[in-house]
A and B are shown apart, each in its own frame.
Chain A
Amino acid sequence: MANARTRLRRGEGLAGWLFTAPVIVILGLFLLVPVLMAAWVSLSDWTGRGSPFAAGVNFIGVDNYREILGGGGLAERDFGISLKNNFWYVILVVPLQTIVALGLALLVNKRVLRGRGFFRTAFYFPSVTSSVAITVLWLFLFSGSGAVNAVLSWVGINGPDWFNDPAGIFHFGATSGPSALTSGTVLGVSWWDWLGGPSVAMTAFVILAVFTTGGTFMLLFLAALQNLSGEVQEAAEMDGANAAQRFFRVTLPQLRPTLFTVITLGLIGCWQVFDQIYTGTQGQPGKTTLTPAYLSYTSAFDSNEWGRGAAIAFILFAIIIVFTLVQRWVLAERKVSRRRMRWIEDARDASARIGGTR
Chain B
Amino acid sequence: MSAVIDRPGRRRGLRTRFGGGVVYLLLAALAVIYIFPFLIDVATSFKTEAEAASSPLSLIPQNWTTAAYERLFLHSDFPVWFRNTAVVTVFVTAGRVFFDSLAGYALARLRFRGRGVVFGALIAVMAVPNVVLLIPKFLVINQLGIFDSYVGLIVPLLVDAAGVFIMKNFFESIPVSVEEQARIDGAGTFRVFWSVVLPMARPALVTIIILSFQGSWNELAHFIVAAQDPQLTTLTKGVAQLASGQLSQGSQYPIKLAAGAIMTIPVAIMFFIFQRRIMNSSSGAVKE
Contact (Cβ within 8 A) B159 A35 = no
Contact (Cβ within 8 A) B111 A41 = no
A267 to chain B, nearest CB (A): 11
Chain A residues positioned under 8 Å from B259 (CB to CB): 133, 136
If over half of A's interface residues share one DSSP class (helix, strand or loop), that class is named, otherwise mixed; here it is: helix
Q: Is A164 an interface residue (CB 8 A)?
A: no
Q: Is B46 an interface residue (CB 8 A)?
A: no
Contact (Cβ within 8 A) A13 B112 = yes
Chain B residues positioned under 8 Å from A301 (CB to CB): 138, 225
B243 to chain A, nearest CB (A): 5
- The closest CB in chain A to the CB of B136 belongs to A34
Bound-complex Cα distance A24 to B221 (A)? 22
Contact (Cβ within 8 A) A320 B260 = no
Chain A residues positioned under 8 Å from B183 (CB to CB): 8
Chain A residues positioned under 8 Å from B34 (CB to CB): 122-123, 125-126, 211, 215
Contact (Cβ within 8 A) B100 A132 = no
Interface residues of B, count at CB 8 A: 96
Q: Is B248 an interface residue (CB 8 A)?
A: no
Q: Is B74 an interface residue (CB 8 A)?
A: no
B247 to chain A, nearest CB (A): 13
Contact (Cβ within 8 A) B287 A137 = no
**Which residues of B in the span 110-142 have a Cβ within 8 Å of any Cβ on A?**
110-115, 118, 121-122, 125, 128-141
List 18 other contacts, CB 8 Å, given A30-B155, A125-B268. Answer: A13-B111, A14-B112, A23-B161, A27-B121, A30-B140, A34-B137, A41-B135, A107-B30, A135-B240, A140-B257, A216-B285, A216-B287, A219-B282, A271-B129, A274-B131, A297-B134, A313-B135, A317-B129
Residues of A within 8 A of B (CB): 8-9, 11-17, 19-20, 22-24, 26-27, 29-35, 37-38, 41, 51-52, 104, 107-108, 110, 113, 115, 118-137, 139-141, 143, 145-147, 150-151, 211-213, 215-216, 219-220, 222-223, 240, 265, 268-269, 271-272, 274-275, 278-280, 282, 293, 296-297, 300-301, 306, 309-310, 313-314, 316-317, 320
